[in-house]
Structure 1
Amino acid sequence: MKKILVPSLIACAVSALAPVVHAQTAPAAAASSLSFNAGVVSDYRYRGISQSRLEPALQAGVDYADKSGFYVGAWGSSIKWIKDATATDGSVEIDLYGGYKGAIGNVAYDVGYLRYEYVGNKLGNVAIEGVPLYGTANTNEIYGAVTLGAYTAKYSYALSNLFGNLNSKGSYYLDLSATYDLGGGYSLVPHVGYQKVANTPDGTYTDYALTLGKDLGNGLSATGAIMGTNAKKSFYYTPQNKATGDTGLVVGLKYTF
């Protein structure tokens, strides 16, 4: 069974409370801060593709932002794509990241490194007659983003194979988004992204999303997003033969403290 493997970027709202709190671009913090977050989503989508078999996922993270502009953090989510693809272990994703945020005039920038760690995954052991079908799911990326006003552009580059796809080092993801403050605690985030999977033409696709967010106060926030992709179903599907990149509604609730 040939299947492209992709997991949980920009923006927290776009991913419906997915791990991209760290991927958002903003000016350096005025003071150092340590924060924690926990949430639930109706479907864990990353770059438009479901990581949780179109089912709910639990997520949590911790972030430290230094007043100098440097930051580090970790974020985790339950997933099902590794087991679905290969019947091997791997039901938790942990993202480890660090970087620097600053500004030059009116332009904010964010550069950093992101490690996707799939706890206990044995994806690289899957083979037919000794020929490996995948590499390890663990992936390393570097990224850079710039923000001007409401608009953000971000580029992510894979230093390793991308999410288990063999010979995919050098894959990249281009993300364009905007964040509009609607007042009353509401925000609207349109997004479009392009995932290039090196040496795998059929795995390359475009994703899109429109997310409405609401700050409920006291650290609680909610999102509702319409998102989808033009990804080929022959690469992105569940064991029930449902396309994991089709357009759908994703809702989420997150508490930050």
Structure 2
Amino acid sequence: MGTISSRLYRSAALMGLALAGSMAAQAQTAAPAEAPAAAPAAAPTPDNTYSFNVGLISDYRYRGISQSRLKPAISGGFDYSHVSGFYAGTWLSSIKWIKDAGGGSDAEWDVYGGYKGTAGPIGYDVGLLHYHYPSHHLAVSPNTTEVYGAVTWEMVTLKYSHAFTNLFGFADSKNSGYLDLSANFDLGNGWSVVPHVGRQVIRHNSPYSYTDYSVTLNKDFGNGLSASAAIVGTNADKTLYVTPSGRFTGKTAVVVGVKYSF
């Protein structure tokens, strides 16, 4: 749930001035030639990078399932990264599903850390993520810890997340897994489109396993402001994933959001 940044490197070349013919000879005789001016050096990449973000979304969907009872949610986070590839962060969002399940928490608090690197043309990302629900008061704890690993080639990313604990309050669900395949197509001028398909397997709770899918259109307006619009859906069991009023939380819907990073 947390998110994640790229760095661009620039290089500058020296430009020489050439003088031709007798005019050049006369100029060199009359006065010393001026040395060619060097372009300004690119600023060095900082060893440590920090960023904050706040967001508002029409429906907080996680792996295709609404966490906010099909209603808007507000979120905020902090990220740290080191030039070596190590990173850490935290993210907080409003939710409603814990209270819908008879608990007391109305917030999700995530803490994560990992390492990003490259091996030839392949990028990779490995890390640990903990989902915490303060004062949840549920019989089976929804607090979940997952290890994840992802590989990226060009615009395609394949990621797998594995739960070391019970998964989001499902009893006897340790070692559940989620497989995520997505692509990021840069359309230019700050626009991108991201198709995605994922498969959530909940160990010893197979009726709750499902596939989710989405297509997201993103727009980066610059200065930290971005927006998104996504078509999101699942094939989850409509009798199992429901709000107290009986609404299906995995239904196909359009979800829009806005985020500001600084």
Match of 1:82, SS state, is: helix
Distance of 2:145 and 2:137 partners within structure 1: 17
**Aligned mate of 2:72, from 56, 60, 74:** 56
1:109 paired to 2:132: no
Report matched runs for 1:146-161 at 5 Å.
146-161=151-166
| Offset from partner CA, 1:119-165 (integer Å, 9 cap, x none) | 111112xxxxxxxxxx1010000000000000000000000000010
Distance of 1:157 and 1:199 partners within structure 2: 15
Distance of 2:83 and 2:8 partners within structure 1: 7
**Corresponding residue of 1:13:** none
**Corresponding residue of 1:170:** 175
Once the two structures are overlaid, the 10-residue window that deviates more, 203-212 or 231-240, is 231-240
Pairwise CA distance, 1:234:
1.7
| Offset from partner CA, 1:18-41 (integer Å, 9 cap, x none) | x2414x8x7899542100000100
Distance of 2:64 and 2:2 partners within structure 1: 13
Report matched runs for 1:84-163 at 5 Å.
84-86=100-102, 88-124=103-139, 135-163=140-168
Does the CA contact (< 8 Å) of 2:2 and 2:77 recur in 1?
no
Report matched runs for 1:216-255 at 5 Å.
216-255=221-260
Distance of 2:248 and 2:8 partners within structure 1: 39
**Aligned mate of 2:83, from 53, 59, 67:** 67
Distance of 2:138 and 2:142 partners within structure 1: 6
Distance of 2:79 and 2:8 partners within structure 1: 14
Higher relative contact order (CA 8 A, sep 6+): 1
Flag as ranges the 4+ runs of structure 1 deviating above 3 A: 26-31
**Corresponding residue of 2:14:** none
Does the CA contact (< 8 Å) of 1:27 and 1:109 recur in 2?
no
**Aligned mate of 2:62, from 46, 54, 59:** 46
Distance of 1:34 and 1:220 partners within structure 2: 17
Q: Which amino acid aligns with 2:238?
A: K
Distance of 1:28 and 1:232 partners within structure 2: 44
Does the CA contact (< 8 Å) of 2:179 and 2:198 recur in 1?
yes
The normalised TM-score by structure 1 is: 0.85
The normalised TM-score by structure 2 is: 0.84
Pairwise CA distance, 1:199:
0.4
Distance of 1:210 and 1:156 partners within structure 2: 21
Q: Percent identity?
A: 55
Match of 1:123, SS state, is: coil
Distance of 2:143 and 2:179 partners within structure 1: 20
The structure having more radius of gyration, on CA atoms, is: 2
Distance of 1:141 and 1:58 partners within structure 2: 23
Match of 1:167, SS state, is: coil
Q: Give the CA RMSD over aligned residues.
A: 1.5
Distance of 2:220 and 2:128 partners within structure 1: 29
Match of 2:101, SS state, is: helix
**Corresponding residue of 1:189:** 194
Distance of 1:82 and 1:154 partners within structure 2: 27
Distance of 1:20 and 1:179 partners within structure 2: 17
Does the CA contact (< 8 Å) of 1:27 and 1:101 recur in 2?
no
Cα 1:114–1:27, aligned 2, differ >3 Å: closer, same or farther? farther
**Aligned mate of 1:37, from 53, 59, 78:** 53
Distance of 2:196 and 2:61 partners within structure 1: 14
Runs of 5+ unmatched residues, structure 2: 10-44
Q: Which amino acid aligns with 1:254?
A: K
Does the CA contact (< 8 Å) of 2:182 and 2:194 recur in 1?
yes
